[in-house]
Every structure is written in structure tokens, then in C-alpha cells.
A and B are shown apart, each in its own frame.
Chain A
Amino acid sequence: MDTSAIANSMRRMAEVLLVPLGALTAALVVFGVLMAAIGKNPFEVFALIYKGGFGSAFAWQNTLQRAAPLILTALCVALPAQAGLVVIGGEGALVLGGLSAAFIGAHLTGVMPVTTWLAMAFIAMLVGGAWMAACGALRYYRGVNETISSLLLTYIAIALLNHLVEGALRDPASLNKPSTTPLPESHLLGAIPGYDIHWGLVLGLLACVLCHVWVRSTVHGFALRVVGGNVRAARLAGLPVGRLILVACGIGGAMAGLAGMVEVAAVHGSANASLIAGYGYTGILVAFIARHNPIAIVPVAILLGGLNASGGMLQRRLDLPDATVLVLQGIAFLMVLASETLYGRAKIFQPRRG
């Protein structure tokens, strides 16, 4: 590689680092002005955001724990997006994945915990995947808009969860909070040794890497992106468009289902209404900010987890309302999305020829 090639790649790298960083800085400035307007010292606010989200080992664990479920639910949006679909119903796949995992977990108790976990993960991914693949099928075979159908299917999934948890699958001992039969203590998925973070984070990272390889470095993944780029061209090239769409939706749904399994096995111990925590919806935000890049999902989810973690600090120390951090998130994401138009605009970042 000659020097000009290196210089050009440095320019590109500087661009992809500085543009989002600039957007975040701009967001902080706007947010700081807002804080000053309501009579809070913006620098104190910034210091607390840093402390609460990233300022210590404890804060980092807080942040990473919050990021873990978002990584998996973001994949549920990012993978169908490779095929050009806007699927926003990850919450439904998560909820049903969690419910089916809880059912298996409570009944498969006479075996080693790891067998139970594998069975739970398998069934959760199967159910979540089938749920999302249904959206893909509706889209491909019946022309139903997948954004609407996935959203509506989420309401059905939540209703199903509530119906079964309060009815057929209810543990009679759960009086005031209807839940399924809990997993035995020994079959709960513990934390990563030495850390206060559950295994969902590791599964999420692994899933992101695998999905990235699949989408970016395999023929199958390339075919998928061709479908996303231009369906007609894909058909002309003889690609199995329908199957690719089903696979992308199915694997996305499987990821959300897996997130549900982790919630049940590592956090709740049973399935109940607490599974409906909005992770599926926050995942949409993460995926869009990450521009549907599986690897970029990780830092974005961590940033969001960190902001949520520090939101608590702002509430507790400065008596600010919960909405404060939502405002900051809103401004930050608006800035990041708006900054996309800046790529390729500044001459200094462009490759030089000759």
C-alpha cells in the first residue's frame, strides 16, 4: 500500500469518527443550553451523566446490563432491514419467546441446567423466529405491509402472554402477580463470573459478530442485501427472494426470542407481565442509529444503556424528572441522524487522486 492510499484511508476513518462525535457534541451543547434555561448547571449535569453511566466499574456494569437486551432486540430490526423490510415488532417475539422458554424451563427440571438452558433457548428462538417469519410471509405472499403487521402482531403476542399467564399457565401460588411456574433455583442462569451482568450480553455480542459475518462475508448474506437493494434485480438474477425474506425475518425474530429467554432465565425466573418492558421498541431505535449494521449495534446499545443508567443519577442528585434523559436521547439521535447528510461533504475527508 503506498502512502497516498494510507492517507486516504486515514481520511475516511477520521470522517466516520468525527461526524458522529461532532453530532454528539452538538447534542450535548443543545441539551446544556436547555438545562441552563431551567436553572441547572449544565456542567454538573454532564459530570453526573458521566459518573452515572461510565464513571466507575459499577457504572459500566449498570450500563452494560441495560445494553444487553437491546443488542438482541436491535438485531430483530437490523436483519430484516438487510432485505429491505422495516420490522418493528420485536417486542412480540421477545414476549412469546420468553413465555415458551419459561414453560419449557419449568417442566424440564430433572436434567442438567445446561440442557434446560439449551432447550429454552431453542424453543424461544423457534417461537420468536416463527412469529417474525409470519410477518415476512404475509409480506411476500400476501403483500401486507410488514411494519404494520409486525406492530399489530405484537399486540396479539402481549394479549396471548397475559391470557396464558393469567389463565392456563398460571402458577396458583402467584396471587397478586400472575406468573408461570418459576424455574427451580438451580436452573437459573447466573451472572457472568466476577461481574454483575447476565449472560445476555455475551450472547448479544456473539450474535452480532455472527450476523455481521453472515450479512457481510457470505454469499447468502450478499444475496440478502441484493434483495434489500432492489427486489426486481434480485428476481431477475434468479435469487430466491421469498426464502431470503423469510430467513431474515426468522433469524431476527429468533434473536428477539432469545432476548426473552434470557429475561426469563436470568432475571425473572418465570414469565409474567414484566416481560413487556419495551426492549423491543428501544431496539428499533438502536438499529436505526446503528444504520442496521450488526457490529455498530453494540456501541449504540451501550451508549443508550449508559444514558439510561445516568438518567437515574440525574433524578436522584438533581431532582430532575425521568423525562430529562429522554430529552437528551431525543436530541442526540436527531443530531446523529441529521449528521448522516454530512458524509462526503467536507473536502478534507475525501480521497485525493494522483
Chain B
Amino acid sequence: MSNKHSLAGRRDFIKQVAGMGVLTAIGPAMLGRAFAADKIVVGVIYVGPRDDFGYSQAQAQAAAAIKRMLGVTVVEQERVPETADVQKVMASMIEQDGASIIFPTSFGYFDPHAVKMAEKYPDVRFAHCGGLWTAGKHPKNAGSYFGYIDECQYLNGVAAGHATKSKKLGFIAAKPIPQVLRNINAFTLGAQSVNPAITTQVIFTGDWLMPVKEAEATNSLVDQGVDVITMHVDSPKVIVELCERRGISVCGYHADQSALAPKGYLTGAEWNWITPYTEHVKAAMSGAAMNNFLRGGLKEGFVKTSAYGRAVSEGARKNADAVKAKMMKGEFAIFKGPIKDNAGKTVIATGTTQKQTDVVLEQMNYLVRGVIGKV
């Protein structure tokens, strides 16, 4: 019996190798650039499904908006892992679909994947989400865009600060990295602007998509008396739905999740990627130089807040709107000294203000006073 198996394997192999030669010979003749040259083809790559109510959906909304621009064709691919696969997907979009600008939207796509492809295809632009593009180190046809979403998390905090009765908030986060810590701190500072006694209990789940752990964390927070939760994970769906079922309030993240929690949804921190997408695509079409380091907050239209839910009081709306108006004018600083971390150490001295563009903020490694948890 085993001899038969061995034969099967050997013959299958020979068959495959023979097939390989034939197919390779006739293949290129059948394959042409799929789209006309007078149109621009935009490739968008997502790490999760496009309808994840979160990170990938926020990007897909911008891709859908770009599709409506004149002369723009969009090709999309979802659930692409951060391995050699994503390099092949980028190359496929260029070679098979004729894409001349690629949006690799997951953080892990940048180094080495997008950088490598940018070196290989110098005529194609790579607009990456979140990467730290560095002049001299990275190719000129690669760049990054990102938004100061901590502004919206601060506003989430203000709404949460008004809504909480137990003065205990919860934050469910993936990993203790600077981007995430900045959101946790902004949320807490926003809530403490309403009542300095408010605390935020943090739970790190360890990875970006952990639905089971996220559900466990939500239940555990509610059982501890937490009555408003927000998060920084790839797909907030599970957390938002569970908060609604447990009867507590929730602030969204990445995209609008109000449909999942019609009673308890206060507001949410949303990306507005349409702004950077439009800028990159327009530049690519006109042949203008690529803006390699594109950043913006509420004022620049890179982020936005969800409409207030019905659980948000009149006073809370007024308070949050006042802060938002100041942010829109560029007159508000979230990280303004004195700020102490939760071990009592001063991290921002009195009189020091770290503006949104300050790179020190991109290296954050502490949790502010009132956050219960450890980095």
C-alpha cells in the first residue's frame, strides 16, 4: 500500500513540473495590463476583513470614496498577512492590475515589505498608514499618513467622564505600544477634566484581533463596576455589542459602531482617511511630488467623532463641543504639564506643552495618574 502512495506522489510531481513549463510558456501571451493607461489604478490592501466594524473598515470607507473620483479605479484585497504574501500582493497589483499607487494599510506592512517593494518599483507610490517614514533611510516613493486620533479619544473621555456613575472607566487594548498608550492616556485625561477622581482600568489582550479575550475582558470590567468602556483593538465589534448587552455605556474606535449599541453608544473616535487618500491620489494623478510624511488631527480632517448617542447629556455635549471647537482652532493641547505617571513620576514638567506634532509623543512609554495597569 505504501508503495502505491509513493508512486502517486512521484507521478503527481512529474505532472506538476511538466504542467509548469507549458503554462509558463503560454501564460504571458494571455496576460495584459487590465486597465487603460489614461486611468489611474489604486491598490488598497487590508489586514482584516473590509467589514470588521474597525480598522480595515475605516480604510475601506476611504477607498470607496476614492472610487468615485474621476478616472480612478480601485482594486482591493483583504485579509493579507504581514509576510512575504503582502509583498506579492503589492507586486500583483502593479504587474497584473497596473496599479501606480498602493495603500498598504496595516502597520506591519511598512518595514520591510512596502520599503522593499518601493525600491523594486520606483515609479509606483506607496502610501502607508502609520509608518515612520524617515528621510534618507526610506525611498522617496514611499511615505506614510496617520492621524492624531488621541484628540478624539480625549473627547471620548469627556463624554465618558460625564456618563460614569461609578467613576470607574475601562480600556481594552491590544499591546502596550506608544500609539496605544497615547490613546489610553488621552482618554483618561479627558475623563479627569470632568472629574479628577476618575480612574481607568486597562486590560491588554496581547494581540490585535482576540475576540474571545476581548469578551472576557469586557465581562471582567463590568463585573468590577466599570460603567463606560472604550478600546484600541482592530475590530471593536465584540466589545461594543457586549457592553450594550451588559447595559453599560461604550465609546467607539476606528469606525462608527453606533448601530451595534443604539442605547449605550456615547460617541466614538473615528478615522477620516478620505483626506489623506484624496491628497495622495490627486498628487499621483497630477505628477506632483509625494508628501512622504502626512499627519493631521481633527483640524486637518484626518479624524472625526461619531454623532452623540442618546445617552449623552446636554451638559456633556456642551463640554465636549467646547473642547472640540478649541481643537479645531489648534488651541488645545492634551499633553500639557504637569503630568505624572501612575507610579508618581513626573513625565511632563509644569510649563511644558507637548504639541501633537511633537515626536516625543510617538515614543510614549507610560500610563498617566489614574490609569490602573502596567506597561
Q: Residues of B contacting A297 with CB < 8 Å? A: 9
A293-B77 in contact (CB<8A): no
Instruction: Return the CB mask of B93-111 against A: 1 if under 8 Å, else 0.
Output: 1011100000000011001
A262-291 interface code vs B (CB 8 A; 1 in, 0 out): 010011110011100110000000000011
The contact of B177 among A175, A212, A290, by CB within 8 Å, is A175
Question: Which A residues touch B23, using CB under 8 A?
Answer: 50, 54-55, 60
Q: Which of B160-198 contact A (CB under 8 A)?
A: 175-179
The 8 Å CB contact of A299, one of B12, B78, B130, is B12
Contacts known (A56-B24, A176-B130, A274-B108); A316 close to B83, Cβ less than 8 A: no
For B15, B92, B206, which residue has the most chain A Cβ atoms within 10 angstroms? B92
Q: Does A139 contact B (CB under 8 A)?
A: no
If the complex has contacts A175-B362, A295-B6, are A313 and B96 also in contact, measured as CB distance less than 8 A?
Answer: yes
Minimum distance in angstroms from A162 CB to a CB of chain B: 6
Contact yes or no, B130 A293, CB < 8 A: no
Interface residues of B in 1-45 (CB under 8 A from A): 2, 4-13, 15-16, 19-20, 23-24, 27-28, 30-31, 34, 43
Asked if residues B96 and A52 are in contact (CB atoms below 8 Å), the reply is: yes
B75: nearest chain-A partner, CB-CB: A316
Give which listed residue, B49, B108, B176, contacts A177 with CB less than 8 A: B108
In the assembled complex, the CB of B274 is this many whole angstroms from the nearest CB of chain A, namely: 20
Interface centre among B7, B15, B88 (most CB of A within 10 A): B88
Find residues 211-227 in chain A having any chain B CB closer than 8 Å to their own CB: 212, 216, 225
How far apart sit A302 and B85, CA to CA, in the bound complex (Å)? 14
Q: How distant is B57 from chain A, measured CB to nearest CB, in Å?
A: 14
| Residues in B neighbouring A300, C-beta threshold 8 A | 12
User: A298 with B16: in contact, given A175-B363, A269-B112, A274-B108 (CB under 8 Å)?
Assistant: yes
Residues of B contacting A187 in the complex (Cβ-Cβ under 8 angstroms): none
- Asked, given contacts A17-B15, A299-B12, whether A54 binds B91 with beta carbons under 8 Å apart, the answer is no
Once bound together, how far apart are the Cα atoms of A274 and B86, in whole Å? 11
| CB-based contact B77/A299 at 8 Å | no
A33 to chain B, nearest CB (A): 25
Closest to B94 in A: A58
- Bound together, the chains give a CA A285 to CA B231 distance in angstroms of 36
Which one of B31, B76, B132, B362 lies within 8 Å of A55 (CB-CB)?
A: B31
Interface SS of A by simple majority: helix
Q: How many A-B residue pairs have CB under 8 A?
A: 166
Is B84 among interface residues, defined by CB-CB distance under 8 A? yes
Among A143-181, those with CB < 8 Å from B are: 162, 166, 175-178
Question: Smallest CB–CB gap between B49 and chain A, Å?
Answer: 7
Compute how far the CA of A291 lies from the CA of B91 in the bound complex, rounded to whole angstroms.
33
Write out, one digit per residue, whether chain B residues 221-253 have a CB within 8 A of any chain A CB (1) or not (0). Answer: 000000000000000000000000000000000
Evaluate contact between B27 and A17: CB separation under 8 angstroms: no
Are A56's CB and B88's CB within 8 A?
Answer: no
Q: Does B79 touch A at the CB level, under 8 Å?
A: yes
A66 to B89, CA, bound (A): 11
B82 beta carbon closer than 8 Å to chain A:
yes
A315 interfacial by beta-carbon distance below 8 Å? yes
Q: Once the chains bind, are B93 and A60 in contact (CB under 8 Å)?
A: no
Closest Cβ of chain B: how far from A347's Cβ, in Å?
A: 17
Q: Quick check: B91 and A62 within 8 Å, CB to CB?
A: yes
Query: Does B211 belong to the interface (CB within 8 Å)?
Result: no
Question: Taking the nearest CB of chain B, how far is it from the CB of A194, in angstroms?
Answer: 14
- Interface of B (DSSP majority class): helix
B residues touching A (Cβ–Cβ < 8 Å)?
2, 4-13, 15-16, 19-20, 23-24, 27-28, 30-31, 34, 43, 49, 75-85, 88-89, 91-93, 95-97, 107-108, 111-112, 130, 132, 175-179, 206-207, 362-363
Chain B residues positioned under 8 Å from A60 (CB to CB) = 20, 23-24, 27
Q: In this assembly, does A322 line the interface, its C-beta being within 8 Å of a C-beta of chain B?
A: yes
A114 at the interface (CB under 8 A from B): no
For this complex, 16 residue pairs linking A to B, each with C-beta atoms less than 8 Å apart, are A51-B31, A62-B91, A62-B92, A66-B85, A175-B363, A177-B107, A178-B177, A273-B108, A277-B82, A295-B13, A296-B8, A296-B9, A312-B88, A312-B92, A316-B92, A322-B49
Known contacts A65-B88, A176-B107, A315 near B9 by CB under 8 Å:
no
What is the CB-to-nearest-CB distance from B335 to chain A, in angstroms, rounded to a whole number? 17
Q: For the complex, what is the distance from the CA of A317 to the CA of B41, rounded to whole Å?
A: 12
In the bound complex, do residue A321 and residue B49 qualify as a contact, i.e. CB atoms below 8 Å apart?
yes
User: Which 7 pairs from chain A and chain B are nearest by CB?
Assistant: A296-B9, A56-B27, A293-B9, A316-B75, A299-B16, A16-B8, A295-B9
Chain B CB within 10 Å, residue with most, of A291, A295, A316: A316
C-alpha spacing A52/B206, complex, angstroms: 35
A58 to B76, CA, bound (A): 19
Interchain CB contact under 8 A, B108 and A316: no
Q: Are B5 and A291 in contact (CB under 8 A)?
A: yes
Q: What separation, in Å, do the CA atoms of A309 and B12 have in the docked complex? A: 21
Q: Mark A23-37, 1 if CB is under 8 A from B, else 0.
A: 000000000000000
Taking CB atoms, residues of chain B closer than 8 Å to A54 are 19-20, 23, 27
User: Are the C-beta atoms of A322 and B82 separated by less than 8 Å?
Assistant: no
Give 14 new A-B contacts, CB below 8 A, not counting A60-B24, A299-B15: A12-B7, A20-B12, A54-B20, A56-B31, A60-B20, A60-B23, A65-B84, A266-B84, A277-B82, A293-B9, A295-B6, A296-B5, A315-B76, A316-B75
Known: A56-B24, A296-B13, A299-B15. A263 touches B83 (CB 8 A): yes
Give the Cβ gap from A22 to chain B, nearest Cβ, in Å: 14
- Cβ of B175: which chain A residues have Cβ within 8 Å of it? 166, 178
Check if A7 is an interface residue, CB within 8 A of chain B. no
Give which listed residue, B2, B4, B130, contacts A16 with CB less than 8 A.
B4
A residues near B24, Cβ cutoff 8 Å: 56-57, 60
Decide if A59 touches B27 in the complex (CB within 8 Å).
Answer: yes
A281 CB to nearest chain B CB (Å) = 12
- Cα distance A291–B8 in the bound complex, in angstroms: 10
Using Cβ atoms and an 8 Å threshold, which residues of chain B touch A273? 108, 207
From A58, A294, A321, residue with most partner B Cβ within 10 Å:
A58
Contact A299 B13 (CB under 8 A): yes
